[in-house]
A and B are shown apart, each in its own frame.
Chain A
Amino acid sequence: MTIEIDSNTKRMARKGVPHELDPAAASAVEEGLRLTEKHGGTVTLVTMGISEITIGIRNALAMGAASAVHILDEAVAGSDTLATAKILAAAIKKQEFDLVICATESSDSYSGIVPGQIAYFLGVPPMTFAKEISVDGNKITIKRQSESGYDVVESTLPALVACSSGINEPRYPQLKGIMAAKKKEIKVYTAADLGLSPDQVGEKGAREKVLTIGRPPKRQSGKAISDEGEGGKQIADFLAEIKVI
């Protein structure tokens, strides 16, 4: 994946770029599917963006999500974490839910604070950095990543869980799922439909302003060769060359 940054707006170019399913989000969808397979219920996908190429939504529906809500609106471009959380929370509020599952952070602009903000706007307990989720009746327990290991944390539904990346191995959509996904409903909203005014979202609603974007220095051309059966030996040769062995 290559990310282009527009030097004028200092934003990632998202318009016309396929809105794919972020690997971290795929794990969140997978977790939702596993919980509904065990306890009943359905998974609804909620996402926002300015690209109408919604391959990511179709992917999640093909995995097994029942329906999707897509906030598709030019006005949301340039939203910071707070504006993003307001928009998503407003869309989630339109649904009935027991549990909101998010990824901790996206792979392209990570901050890790959006889930906690959504939880606040929804008025539900934030259960963050989960590496394992279990539900028993209306009790929810997670193993929460900590600096020294993990914490066992408990709360009651409705709640929000932000899962750590790698909490599971997301399933691949099967042909049957891909076919079924074509018939599933995607509700499309604008920010205004959700009762949000233009100064609450997008660049206007953003509290954080990016001043400068640096450029990564080019490293000497990375040399990658295909293993023809001698890969291990070639690495040993390289280690000898740089005098490590």
Chain B
Amino acid sequence: MLAKASEVGKAEAILLGPAPEDAVQTLAKHGASKIYLAADAIYRDYLTLPAAETVAGLLQKYHPAVMLFASSYTGRDIVANLCARLDCGAITDVGDFELKDGSVEATIPALGASYQNTSTLVHQGTKLLVVRPKSFEPKVNEQPLAVEEIPAASDEGLRKVHMKERVVVKREGPQLEGAKIVVSGGRGLKGEEQFGMLKDLADALGGAVGASRAAVDAGWVPYAMQIGQTGKTVKPDVYFAIGISGAVQHLSGMKTAKYIISINKDAEAPIFQYSDFGIVGDLFKVVPQLIEELKKRKDA
């Protein structure tokens, strides 16, 4: 984002909450001509409200043309609060943007960038854009280190959403990124245990196991396995969508696979429209048969 911001204008960054010591250097190295810093723990311990308060204050003081936010959970929360507070709009899921005479034109890629929509914001003042991950290549663009310490938010009323504990869920198995074969399961898997079957299939093909958001949200598999708009984007040679209906958000993370093979009991599932090969049937019968068949052919 700093690379893109430096391209269209002068880039500045805001750093809130405790951060590693070299964080400001990293920002300056990538193009931040100024860094507003408040290292207070309030930003770590209380979600959304303190950060939105501080960012809103900076926006009203400096009136930047555009403010970019990462499309993370925290980024989206802060933007939501800012829109309501400042009575302005925001464009989410932005892949690229241009500034034209003070107005902004944002490109929103859809379905794995196979087509795109464009949007603009028609209100006065700073335009808020929520940028999807990996949209811009980072560039080294060393700036002299200029840090301005700003007062931290301290109002008691901002300490409402208390972050009590961060739980890191470890992932197992081969890396999804770069896998030639990805075997993904969705809601149709019906539970955590059944993912073992997908693991067997992935192992037989030397691939990795992924999942749709429904399976992740249900708690069957960790977030690190999620493929789609709010998860990972994969480009394998073969993508298996098993028990996945094919919501747009999921498609955007796997649409560019060379071949898509799907198994779903619902013949109307949208995933079939994007599949090179689809089986309408019971995945609990089809998958074991496929594993068995792969073993047989390997031994033959």
* Chain A interface (Cβ < 8 Å from any Cβ of B): 1, 80-82, 85, 107, 110-117, 119-121, 125-129, 131-132, 141, 143-156, 164-167, 169, 206-217, 219-220, 222-227, 229-236, 238-240, 242, 244-245
Is A227 touching B90 in the complex (CB atoms < 8 A)? no
Stretch at the interface among B24-32, B137-145, B274-282: B274-282
Contact among B162, B167, B248, B289 with A149 in the assembled complex (CB-CB below 8 Å): B167
Inter-chain contacts of A153 with B (CB < 8 A):
47, 161-164
Stretch at the interface among B4-12, B60-68, B107-115, B147-155: B107-115
Contact among A117, A225, A229, A233 with B280 in the assembled complex (CB-CB below 8 Å): A225
* Chain A nearest CB, measured from B56 CB (Å): 11
Residue B288 is within 8 A (CB to CB) of chain A in the complex: yes
* Chain B nearest CB, measured from A168 CB (Å): 8
Top-9 shortest CB links A-B: A116-B80, A227-B281, A207-B89, A232-B289, A166-B217, A224-B278, A214-B115, A120-B84, A232-B290
Inter-chain contacts of A143 with B (CB < 8 A):
167
* Chain B interface (Cβ < 8 Å from any Cβ of A): 47-49, 72-73, 76-77, 79-81, 83-85, 87-93, 105, 110-111, 114-123, 130, 160-169, 181, 187, 205, 213-219, 222-224, 229, 237-238, 247-249, 259, 261-263, 267, 270, 272-282, 285-294, 297-298
Is B84 touching A121 in the complex (CB atoms < 8 A)? yes
Inter-chain contacts of B84 with A (CB < 8 A):
82, 85, 116-117, 120-121
- Select from chain B the residue with minimum beta-carbon distance to A112: B76
Is B214 touching A81 in the complex (CB atoms < 8 A)? no
Inter-chain contacts of B187 with A (CB < 8 A):
166
Is B280 touching A226 in the complex (CB atoms < 8 A)? yes
Is A149 touching B117 in the complex (CB atoms < 8 A)? no
Is A244 touching B238 in the complex (CB atoms < 8 A)? yes
Inter-chain contacts of B237 with A (CB < 8 A):
244
A-B contact count (CB 8 A): 260
* Chain B nearest CB, measured from A99 CB (Å): 14
Instruction: Known contacts A155-B161, A214-B116, A231-B281; decide if A166 and B92 are in contact (CB<8 Å).
Output: no
Inter-chain contacts of B87 with A (CB < 8 A):
82
Instruction: Known contacts A209-B121, A212-B118; decide if A80 and B73 are in contact (CB<8 Å).
Output: no
Is A151 touching B167 in the complex (CB atoms < 8 A)? yes
* Chain A nearest CB, measured from B18 CB (Å): 16
Cα-based distance from A131 to B222 in the complex (angstroms)? 12
Inter-chain contacts of A226 with B (CB < 8 A):
267, 279-281
Cα-based distance from A115 to B161 in the complex (angstroms)? 15
Is B117 touching A206 in the complex (CB atoms < 8 A)? no
Is A235 touching B161 in the complex (CB atoms < 8 A)? no
Inter-chain contacts of A127 with B (CB < 8 A):
161
Inter-chain contacts of A152 with B (CB < 8 A):
163-167
Inter-chain contacts of B123 with A (CB < 8 A):
207
Cα-based distance from A236 to B214 in the complex (angstroms)? 27
Inter-chain contacts of A117 with B (CB < 8 A):
80-81, 83-84
Inter-chain contacts of B130 with A (CB < 8 A):
113
Inter-chain contacts of A219 with B (CB < 8 A):
273-274
* Chain B nearest CB, measured from A129 CB (Å): 5
Is B275 touching A154 in the complex (CB atoms < 8 A)? no
**Could you pull out 9 A-B pairs where Cβ atoms are within 8 angstroms?**
A120-B84, A126-B48, A149-B166, A151-B167, A154-B161, A164-B213, A219-B274, A223-B275, A225-B278
* Chain A nearest CB, measured from B69 CB (Å): 10
Cα-based distance from A153 to B292 in the complex (angstroms)? 45
- Select from chain B the residue with minimum beta-carbon distance to A113: B80
- Select from chain B the residue with minimum beta-carbon distance to A129: B73
Inter-chain contacts of B165 with A (CB < 8 A):
151-152
Cα-based distance from A115 to B89 in the complex (angstroms)? 14
Instruction: Known contacts A113-B76, A155-B160, A227-B285; decide if A234 and B119 are in contact (CB<8 Å).
Output: no
Among B89, B114, B116, B187: residue with most chain A CB under 10 A: B89
Inter-chain contacts of A227 with B (CB < 8 A):
279-282, 285-286
Cα-based distance from A151 to B289 in the complex (angstroms)? 40
Is B121 touching A233 in the complex (CB atoms < 8 A)? no
Inter-chain contacts of A131 with B (CB < 8 A):
217, 219
Inter-chain contacts of B48 with A (CB < 8 A):
116, 126, 128
Is A222 touching B276 in the complex (CB atoms < 8 A)? yes
Contacts A223-B277, A227-B279, A227-B280 known; 5 new A-B pairs at CB < 8 A? A131-B219, A152-B166, A167-B218, A209-B122, A236-B294
